[in-house]
C-alpha cells in the first residue's frame, strides 16, 4: 500500500521545520554515494535519529529529533498508522543540476533496511525531482506532502534541475495501518 497526503502538517509547524533545515546553521554531512559501490550520486544528510538494530535501547539522536518528533504524531493521526518501532529519521538534500532542465536524473535504487519496515517521506520544497518507486511509479516532490510505502519497495531519489536543492525528511519505522 502507498498513501500520499498533501498539506500534511499545519503551516506554522511545517514552516518552522523548513526554516530550520534551510538555514545556514543546519549541519549537513557530505555523502559521496546514495548506494556505496553502486553509484557516485553526491548528496547531503543529517541523521536526526537512528536506532541500532542490534541494540534497540540505545538510539542516536541529534537536536533535530526534537524538532521532527511531532511528525510521528501526525503519521498516527493523518495516515492512520500505528508506529511500533522508529528506526530512523534522516534528512536528505540533493543539489540541483540545472543542465538537466527540464528533466531529472534518477539515483541508484535501494531499500533503506533489509527488515520489514515502512518508509515515510516528508517533502520540504517543490522541485521537479520525484521519488521513483520500483522503476515505474513516481511521487511528485511537493512542499508539505507526505508519502508512506512498504520499505521493501526499491526506490530512488532524483537529482532535480529547477530548484537549488531537493530537501526531504525520511522516516523508517515498523507498524501497521489502523483498521477502520
Residue 31: which pLDDT band, with cuts at 50, 70 and 90? confident
Q: What is the pLDDT of residue 34?
A: 67
Summarize pLDDT for 48-71 with one digit per residue, the tens: 999 877 766 667 889 999 999 999
Ramachandran class of 42: left when φ > 0, alpha when ψ lies in -120 to 50, beta otherwise: beta
Helix (H, G, I), strand (E, B) or coil at 173: strand
Distance, CA of 67 to CA of 19 (rounded, Å): 11
Summarize pLDDT for 82-122 with one digit per residue, the tens: 999 999 999 999 988 877 666 777 888 899 999 999 999 99
Q: With 70 as the cut, is the pLDDT of residue 134 above it?
A: yes
Q: Return the residue matching grid coordinates 521513483.
A: 132
Q: Would you say 149 and 112 are in contact if contact means Cβ atoms under 8 Å apart?
A: no
Give me the residues paired with residue 93 across strands. 44, 167
Sign of the alpha-carbon torsion through 92, 97, 98, 100:
negative
Distance, CA of 26 to CA of 23 (rounded, Å): 6
Amino acid at each position: 500500500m502507498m498513501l500520499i497526503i498533501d498539506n500534511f502538517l499545519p503551516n506554522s509547524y511545517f514552516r518552522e521545520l523548513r526554516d530550520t533545515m534551510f538555514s545556514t546553521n543546519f549541519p549537513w554531512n557530505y555523502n559521496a554515494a546514495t548506494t556505496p559501490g553502486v553509484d557516485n550520486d553526491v548528496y547531503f544528510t543529517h541523521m536526526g535519529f537512528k536506532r541500532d538494530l542490534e541494540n534497540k535501547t540505545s538510539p542516536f539522536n541529534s537536536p533535530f529529533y526534537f524538532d521532527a518528533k511531532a511528525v510521528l504524531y501526525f503519521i498516527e493521526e493523518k495516515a492512520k498508522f500505528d508506529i511500533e518501532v522508529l528506526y530512523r529519521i534522516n534528512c536528505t538534500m540533493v543539489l540541483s543540476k540545472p543542465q538537466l532542465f527540464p528533466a531529472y536524473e534518477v539515483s541508484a535504487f535501494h531499500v533503506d533496511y533489509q527488515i520489514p519496515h515502512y518508509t515515510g517521506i516528508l517533502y520540504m520544497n517543490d522541485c521537479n525531482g520525484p521519488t521513483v518507486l520500483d522503476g515505474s511509479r513516481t511521487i511528485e516532490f511537493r512542499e508539505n506532502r507526505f508519502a508512506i510505502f512498504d520499505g521493501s519497495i526499491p526506490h530512488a531519489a532524483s537529482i532535480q534541475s529547477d530548484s537549488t536543492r531537493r530537501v526531504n525528511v525520511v522516516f523508517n519505522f515498523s507498524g501497521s495501518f489502523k483498521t477502520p
